Every structure is written in C-alpha cells, then in structure tokens.
Structure 1
C-alpha cells in the first residue's frame, strides 16, 4: 500500500468537535485540488459536516484518516461551530457546489477525471450532463456496485483513462476506508463525495436557495429521505451541537 502524501494544512485550520477543518474558500479549494492532481503520491480531500464529526468521535480509524486528509467545511453547522469556537472558516463548501468549479478547472488544465460510486447509471447520467456543460471535460465513470473480483478491472480503467482526479461516492465512513484500502491503485487527487452523483445527475433535487442560504439544506434532505436520514439529523445534529458546546466550555477551539 502506498502511503498518502502528508496533507499540508491550508492557510488556517480549526478543530470542530474533534475534527480539523481547513479554512478554504471555493477558489483556494479548486486550486488545491489542481495542485494535488499535478503531484506524485495520493492526497485525499474530505468534506466535513456534522455527520462526519459524529462518526469520527465513535470510530478511531475514521478519525485518524481524517487527520491525514485535506478537509473542507461541507456543512453549514461546521462553519457555525468554527465561529463559536473562535476559528475562521470563510464559507460552507458543499461538495455539490464545488464539484463543477473543480471540473471546469480540470477541463481547462486537460486533467482526466473519474467518477466511481452510486447505483448503475447514476454516475454516467451525471457525467453526460457535465460533458454538455463543460467543453473538453475528460470524464469516465463506473458505478459502485462491483465485487472484489471486479475491482482490478476498475483500477485498470482508472489508470488507462490517465485519471488525475477521482471522485469516490460511497458515503462515510465506507468511502474513506475504501480509499485507504486501495491507495496504491489510485490517482494523485481523490475526493470522497457521498451522494454527489445523485445530485449532479438530477436524481435528487437541491433545496430552494433560501434554505441553502439559511443553513437548512439538511432539513430539505430529511424531507426527501426521512426514513434513511432521520437518525442522522434528528439525533446526530443535537449530538454535534453538544460536542461543540463541550469543546467551547473546555476552551479547546481553533
């Protein structure tokens, strides 16, 4: 297995509920991913939200892997938490929002991209829409429902494509574990992206803009998938708030 190259910190970093979050803007995270794609070794970028923080508190391996990753604030709650703790995270960077700027920059730099994950047809549907919007985008896909015996062919396809940026959409913590287990077969820039392909394909509809601006996109997602997400949000959000409050009381902020 190839060790991931050290995740050098961004301009600043804040520890939120036990997880370090790098202080990126949209422009600087795009620039960072392109630098990742142009280097040797493997760097992994992970979007951090309340759910990720909650998992990290329960799972030592996941927390260790986050410590080795480049991170950004995927959830508005993380931005708010950082501010409460005296840190400075400039903005929420939902993976759904930063994916297209990253892909446009990759196309401009002629860097091949690969989508791996989601159900059969979803990633390709997302890719088809993106190829129409972004001239010159070199993007291949593979759904995530493959057995262990099929993975070598997937890795060969990633390599043959000349992939420099790989998006892995499996959900946390599975996607970060998968990346760690296969580092020696992966391209230099890897982004874990959860359900990104469902949103980019149009299978799921984004929340109204007023909900996104107000930090209520979680509520929209709960309304769309109440059975799957009820525990994550109705129990997980209060757990995250309690962890931030405890951290604030202990005085261990930025």
Structure 2
C-alpha cells in the first residue's frame, strides 16, 4: 500500500461504520452512483474495496489486510450482514451495495457518460466471453483493454509493463477480478500508479461473462445471495462460510466490535 498517497477526494465526506476495524461506507447505491459521477476524474489512481463478511473477518485477523481495506477511498458494504449491523448502529440509510450491481449500474450509463473501461483479472477465456457479452448488452461501451495476469507472482518488469499498458489506454475505471484478498492487495500496491478508478469486483467478471448466475433478486434483497453461491460452489465455500460467518456473528453482532 502506498502510505504517502494523498486522496484527491475528501474521505471525511464519506459516512462510515466501523465493523471489526474496517471502516465500511454507510451508504446506498444511489449515494454511490452520485458520488462516482461527481468525482470520477479525481478518483483516478485510487481504489475501492467491495467488502463482505469474509473480507471483514479476514481484516479482523490480519492488521495488514485491514490497512489495505481502509487505505482506499472507501470499502462498500457488499455483504448484507454488514449493512444490517450498520443500520442497527444508527446508519438508517445504509444498504447492501454489491460490486457486481455497482458495475452493472456504471456499465448502463457508460455510453452516455463516455466512460472507458479496463478489465484486469480472470482467464483469457472468460475475458473473451466478457468482451462479447458487454458489447452485446451495452451498445456503445468503450472497452479500453483487458488483461489476464499469470497465476504466479509477476516480476517487477512484467508489472511495470502491465501498468504502462493500462495507463496508455486512459481508462476511467479499472475493474479488478482477482478474488479476495488478492485483488485488494493488488489495488493497494498500485494506488497512485495505475490511472483510472480501481474497483475489486471478485466474481463480477464471471457474472457478466455468463459463467455463473447471480441469485434471483428476491434472494439478493433477503441477504441470501451467499446461500445461492454456496449451492453453486459448495466445496470451496462451505468451510469459508462456516468459519467466517460464525466469527462475524460472535464478534460483530454479539460483542459489538
């Protein structure tokens, strides 16, 4: 994380609720879209975390990752339990604000606003499907570029070449789909180096490429999207949900941390 980075947007204007040490933005989608529209140029070089129970509990256990979560312009409440805790703590307007939903809202207005998008992460196959789907579903979208990084750590030379490649395309948004905690650490390491507003959207690339389906809207509204994802990928998610959800309930809900 770039400790010397100076945010061009005043973070004090963003309402937050501290949950397990993470300053979760006490906002809703309408507020976030208005904030983005007013500040997109000044958000270039900065990043936004899309936070859920898993990332928040991980931050509680790992001070370095907590600093990464708090080091961007904000951490939005992607997980329903975060916004529920926030409302119980007095933030009446705090609502679940997911990364894929934010990405979708931005894509809808991109042609009108002239936004340029760069996509960093996932596989070549998924990026090809994503490119096709975005052009079909969002006529006039400007895809500045796409890059599927290697699964091994990159060398400093490789990283510098990728940064140069991204910056030459002059993107407004750099969508990062590496999964947590990798994507947040990547954004923090490139704060003030990569041009464009970096947003870590996890499985967002897969959703928009059509690789996996999002939960029905009624499940999303009832904070049950985690259950839908668990049914889709039980081997990977069962242990994570069991451990992190239990820790979250005990520490954030029962103990009030």
Q: What's the TM-score once normalised by structure 2's chain length?
A: 0.87
Question: Is the Cα contact below 8 Å between 1:110 and 1:138 reproduced in 2?
Answer: yes
2:160 counterpart of 1:152? yes
2:190 counterpart of 1:182? yes
Contiguous gaps of at least 5 residues in structure 2? none
What's the offset of the Cα at 1:210?
2.6
Cα distance change of structure 1 residues 7 and 145 upon mapping to structure 2, 3 Å threshold: farther
- Report SS of the residue matched to 2:49: strand
What's the offset of the Cα at 1:131?
1.9
Cα distance change of structure 1 residues 105 and 28 upon mapping to structure 2, 3 Å threshold: farther
Q: Which residue does 1:113 correspond to in 2?
A: 117
Choose from 223, 239, 243 the match for 1:231: 239
Question: Is the Cα contact below 8 Å between 2:51 and 2:77 reproduced in 1?
Answer: yes
2:39 counterpart of 1:39? no
What's the offset of the Cα at 1:124?
3.2
Aligned ranges for residues 3-22 of structure 1 at < 5 Å?
Answer: 3=5, 5=7, 8-22=11-25
2:220 counterpart of 1:218? no
* C-alpha distance in 2 between matches for 1:130 and 1:232: 31
- Higher mean C-alpha displacement, 205-214 vs 48-57: 205-214
Q: What's the TM-score once normalised by structure 1's chain length?
A: 0.88
* C-alpha distance in 1 between matches for 2:202 and 2:10: 21
Alignment coverage as a number of residue pairs? 249
What's the offset of the Cα at 1:71?
1.8
What's the offset of the Cα at 1:133?
2.0
* C-alpha distance in 2 between matches for 1:10 and 1:218: 31
* C-alpha distance in 1 between matches for 2:66 and 2:169: 32
* C-alpha distance in 2 between matches for 1:89 and 1:243: 23
Structure 1 vs Structure 2 CA RMSD = 2.2
* C-alpha distance in 1 between matches for 2:248 and 2:230: 17
Aligned ranges for residues 232-247 of structure 1 at < 5 Å?
Answer: 232-247=240-255
* C-alpha distance in 2 between matches for 1:133 and 1:173: 30
Q: Which residue does 1:162 correspond to in 2?
A: 170
Choose from 51, 55, 58 the match for 1:52: 55
